[in-house]
Amino acid sequence: MKADDAVDLRIRALRKEDVGAIARIDAKHTGKLKRRWWEDVISRHVAGGGASRNRVGLVAVEAGSEQVEGYLLGQVRAFEFGSEPCGWIYAIGVRPDRLRAGVASALLDRARQIFHERKVQVVRTMVRREDVPVLTFFRSRGFAAGPFVELELSTNSEGT
């Protein structure tokens, strides 16, 4: 399959048994297998037999298969500093051989629909400045700079 070929996808809710596939996809992009971390994150998404009202956990599988092609995790948050409740996408990943095949777009479209159904009007995410492919993806899907600026301070400094 070429990278630009579309895949016939089915988007479904995240399941506990997806942890291995998600950890492997993440490892392909980060170079680190973080299975325990993913087990913890996914367990919070599927606690009680399904995603809680404020969490969104999705996987894309090829139609007729249960092979995970990609994933998206998000949450509705009433963020600090006076922000109205908004949707946050904090993890998205696609198998490297399925990049540019519509997997991330399908996941984002479904997440956006879920956030809308939950009466959320804005979806946010954070992307590392140097992560040009992910930044390009989100910008191509209509994301733009928001009204907040992230600031950070090292715990190893005096702050001066």
Q: How confident is the model at residue 93 (pLDDT cuts 50, 70, 90)?
A: very high
Q: What angle do CA 94, 95, 101 make, to 5 degrees?
A: 70
Residue 159 has pLDDT above 60, yes or no: no
14 CB contacts (<8 Å, ≥6 apart)?
42, 45, 46, 51, 57, 58, 59, 71, 73
Q: How confident is the model at residue 1 (pLDDT cuts 50, 70, 90)?
A: very low
Q: What is the mean pLDDT of residues 93-105?
A: 92
Rounded CA gap, 57 and 74, in Å?
6
Contact 88, 124 (CB under 8 A): yes
The model's pTM is: 0.86
